[in-house]
Each structure stands twice: as structure tokens, then as C-alpha cells.
Homo-oligomer: A and B are copies of this chain.
Amino acid sequence: MSENLPETWQGGPSWRPVARSRAHELVIEAIEDQIMVGALKVGDPLPPERDLASRLQVSRAGVREAIRVLEGQGVLRSNVGAGADAGTFIAAMPSEALTRFLRLHVALSNFRLDDVVDARVMLERSSASLAAANSDQRAREAIRGPLEQMDVEGISREEFNDADTAFHVAIAEAGGNQLVADMTIAIRASLRAPILEAFRQLEDWSQVSAMLREQHHGIIEAIAAGDGERAARLTEEHIRAASAALPALRSPGG
């Protein structure tokens, strides 16, 4: 077999069919291989779907299914139209993908809520500690924004929940570790529905929200003071207290 086939992408990735199970898996493997060997980096374009199909000897439908899968993982991004922006590109959107992933699996109870809470404690302890050590003035202000939203009188439980999420996300991002931040975001987002449901079932809402508010202020103070150990401790206490105050969290409500 001579390699006389025209290599349209000179020096670029060599798109050759690999193993064979389902067609779209072949395409996924071909693209992943190019990523693994470094032939495709973030921002690089993929060949047009029709080209890929003929090069890999599969139908365009198979190519499209593969692209969809990788798009769902936050690895690809497609634009219609013409010109430099048109086509499919290697992307870097891990956060959204991770969030969707965890949200689904938590909803399916593939992870015990206790495990999720424990993992959250571990991650956010780390984030708080990192934020205390690394955060600058701007990052701390980003944390205070949602804090003030939660202090507003008469805020709805849903708004409170979203501001609470924003608060914890801001701390995670202030920590400076992107992977930890993304995992934190994903876990908090995956708990949004159950927490909101638990909020609704709550009788003494004002009391619980007052407690949460107070704990939040304690955490931001520790971070601003650069006291990582205290920030971590208060964060763990906060999460566990909130978890304990929301008994509905323990029994997944259908």
C-alpha cells in the first residue's frame, strides 16, 4: 500500500481509519488520536464534515455523531456560515461539560448525596484555603458581590440559592486552580435542584438563611485576612451545617 493518496493537510494530522466497531467511534478515536499526539490544539479547525467522512470511509452521519459527542464533552465547537469562523474547531469548554455531566449523574442517583457533599467539602476547603493564600483585591470583590445580593431583604429562595452558588464559585475561582474550580462549580450546580427543593420544604427559612449569611461573612473575612486554615474550617462547618439544616437533602425527592 503506497501512500499516494493526496494529503490535503500537508504536515497536519493524518486522518486514517483505525479499528472498527461502530462508525462514529472510529471517528472519535481518529480525532482523539490527533489530539493525543498533539497534532490538534485548541483553536485548530477540523476538516469539513464531508471531507472527514470520505477520508475515514464513513458516512457524514457517522462523522456528525462523533462531532456531537466531542462537542458534548466541551472539546469541539461548530459554527455555520463561511469564512475563517465557519466550521468545527477544537475548543476548551470543560466547565459547562463537567457541570452537565455531574448534574445528570446526581439526578440519576449514581452518586450518593452524602458522597457528593463530602466531595464538596473537600474541594471547597481546598478552594477557600487557596483563595486565602492567592486571591487579589479584584477576586475578593467578586466574592462580595453575591454576598451583598444575599443580604437584600425579601430575596426569594431561588435568588438566594443562585447568589449562594455564585459566592462559592467565586471563591473557587479566586483559588486559582482551574480544575478544582471547575469541579467545584459542577458539584454546586449538580446540587442546585435538590437544594432548591430542600429550601422550599423549609419552615423556618428566615432563621436558616440568617445562619448561612452569617457563615458567609465569616468565610470572606478569613479569606481577606489571609487565614487559610480558618477559611477552610469555616467552609467545612458552613457546608455541613447547611446540609444538616436541610433534611430534605438526605432523601432524594422524586
Chain A residues packing against B (C-beta within 8 Å): 24, 32, 35-38, 41-42, 61, 64-66, 68-75, 90, 92, 94, 97-98, 100-101, 104-105, 107-112, 115-116, 118-119, 122-123, 126, 177-180, 183, 193, 254
Majority secondary structure, A binding face = helix
B179 touches A115 (CB 8 A): yes
Of the candidates B42, B72, B101, B179, the one whose C-beta lies within 8 Å of that of A98 is: B101
A110 touching B94 in the complex, CB below 8 Å, given contacts A65-B68, A68-B68, A115-B179: yes
Closest chain B residue to A114 by CB distance? B177
The smallest C-beta distance from A184 to any residue of chain B, in angstroms, reads 11
Of the candidates B32, B115, B193, the one whose C-beta lies within 8 Å of that of A104 is: B32
Q: How far is the CA of A24 from the CA of B67 in the complex (A)?
A: 12
B178 touches A115 (CB 8 A): yes
A108 touches B35 (CB 8 A): yes
Apart from A94-B105, A119-B179, 5 more pairs, CB < 8 Å? A42-B108, A69-B69, A75-B105, A94-B101, A111-B178
A118 touches B177 (CB 8 A): yes
B122 touches A108 (CB 8 A): no
B193 touches A108 (CB 8 A): no
A111 touching B126 in the complex, CB below 8 Å, given contacts A35-B104, A104-B75: no
B100 touches A73 (CB 8 A): yes
Which residues of chain B are within 8 angstroms of A122 by Cβ–Cβ distance? 122-123, 126, 180
